[in-house]
């Protein structure tokens, strides 16, 4: 299988869970650990998944959870290859986890998901990858129309980022509500800020070589994922199902 045909996912499991007071991915939601909801939803949707955790102890803990649930029959139960990695740079938030995941995927792009979003569904996963495939095909066709040398095509899409209207009462929304899908760097500053505020960067697809940009940000002590989106060629897509992005951040959310 060629790299371009592989669907990869990165699941971030390295959060400190300060508000929850315990490891979120291992918490029981609807009779099973939260991480298992994500792994099962990814089944038959992707080819490989990278779980990124912040230390070796948590890696051992998650391996045990996965092994106990699938009863030593992981290869038959999951349609994809599952690998666990330790954060290369500790205590630097999700940016570090995204970087670690991107540096270890086999494909050119990966869908990033947090372990505390058990309501992500197959429709969302397919929509995100279909949006990527469609945009790559469109950009490739545009390049071919300018130059008939197929081998010279270089599609420069760094990220596919979902957004939804979190605050429909704002003035920015009134100026924005005719938009659907767009590149962030084509918008003025007010629309960029509105887009970023309504985006879900931890439910996005990122290009593998973005790991270099992330490393530069971390070396500059910048940990905000939305700062990464500003420096990428980010393509925003509208998602109307807000339940997809529901996080379990505290016990009140259960």
How large a percentage of the chain has pLDDT more than 70?
A: 81
- Return the pLDDT at 25: 87
Find tokens 């955790």 and name the residue.
53
Confidence of residue 152 (pLDDT cuts 50, 70, 90): very low
Confidence of residue 150 (pLDDT cuts 50, 70, 90): very low
- Return the pLDDT at 167: 64
Q: Is 13:85 a contact under the CB 8 Å cutoff?
A: no
- Return the pLDDT at 164: 87
Q: Which helix (H) or strand (E) holds 206?
A: strand 205-207
Q: Is 105:10 a contact under the CB 8 Å cutoff?
A: yes
- Return the pLDDT at 178: 62
Q: Is 156:233 a contact under the CB 8 Å cutoff?
A: yes
- The token pair that represents 96 in the structure block: 């570090």
Q: How far is CA 110 from the centre of its chain?
A: 7
| pLDDT 10s digits, 16-65 | 555 554 678 888 888 889 999 999 999 999 999 999 999 999 999 999 99
- Report the b/e string of 125-147 with b at 16+ CB within 10 A: bebbbebbeebbeebeeebeeee
Q: Would you call 107 helix, strand, or coil by DSSP?
A: coil
Query: Given CA atoms 163, 166, 169, 172 in this order, what sign does their dihedral have?
Result: negative
Q: Would you call 222 helix, strand, or coil by DSSP?
A: coil
pLDDT greater at residue 221 or residue 190: 221
Q: Model-level pTM greater than 0.75?
A: yes
Confidence of residue 4 (pLDDT cuts 50, 70, 90): low
Q: Output the average pLDDT for the chain.
A: 85
Q: Look at residue 146 and tell me whether its pLDDT is greater than 70.
A: no
Q: Measured between alpha carbons, how far is 41 from 58 in angstroms, rounded to an integer?
A: 22
Q: Look at residue 140 and tell me whether its pLDDT is greater than 70.
A: no
Domains in the chain (CATH in brackets) are 3-253 (3.90.550.10)
Give Cα separations from 133 to 60, 75, 136, 234, 235 (angstroms): 35, 27, 5, 15, 12
- Return the pLDDT at 143: 55
| pLDDT 10s digits, 169-193 | 566 666 666 678 999 999 989 888 8
Q: Look at residue 197 and tell me whether its pLDDT is greater than 70.
A: yes
């Amino acid at each position: 299988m060629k790299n371009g045909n592989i669907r990869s996912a990165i699941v971030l499991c390295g959060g400190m869970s300060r508000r929850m007071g315990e490891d979120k991915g291992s918490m029981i939601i609807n009779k099973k650990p939260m991480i298992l909801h994500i792994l099962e939803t990814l089944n038959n949707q992707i080819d490989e998944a990278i779980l990124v955790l912040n230390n070796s102890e948590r890696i051992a803990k998650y391996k045990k959870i996965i092994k106990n649930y699938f009863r030593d029959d992981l290869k038959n139960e999951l349609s994809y290859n599952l690998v666990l990695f330790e954060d290369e740079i500790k205590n630097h938030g999700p940016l570090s986890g995204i970087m670690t995941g991107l540096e270890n995927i086999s494909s050119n792009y990966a869908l990033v998901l947090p372990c505390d979003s058990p309501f992500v569904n197959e429709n969302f996963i397919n929509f995100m990858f279909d949006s990527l495939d469609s945009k790559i095909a469109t950009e490739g066709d545009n390049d071919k129309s300018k130059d008939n040398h197929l081998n010279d095509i270089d599609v420069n899409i760094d990220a596919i980022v979902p957004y939804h209207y979190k605050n429909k009462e704002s003035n920015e929304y009134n100026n924005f509500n005719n938009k659907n899908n767009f590149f962030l760097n084509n918008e003025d500053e007010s629309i960029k800020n509105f887009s970023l505020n309504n985006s879900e960067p931890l439910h996005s697809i990122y290009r593998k070589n973005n790991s270099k940009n992330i490393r530069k940000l971390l070396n500059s002590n910048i940990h905000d994922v939305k700062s990464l989106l500003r420096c990428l060629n980010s393509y925003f897509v509208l998602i109307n199902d807000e339940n997809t992005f529901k996080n379990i951040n505290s016990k009140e959310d259960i």
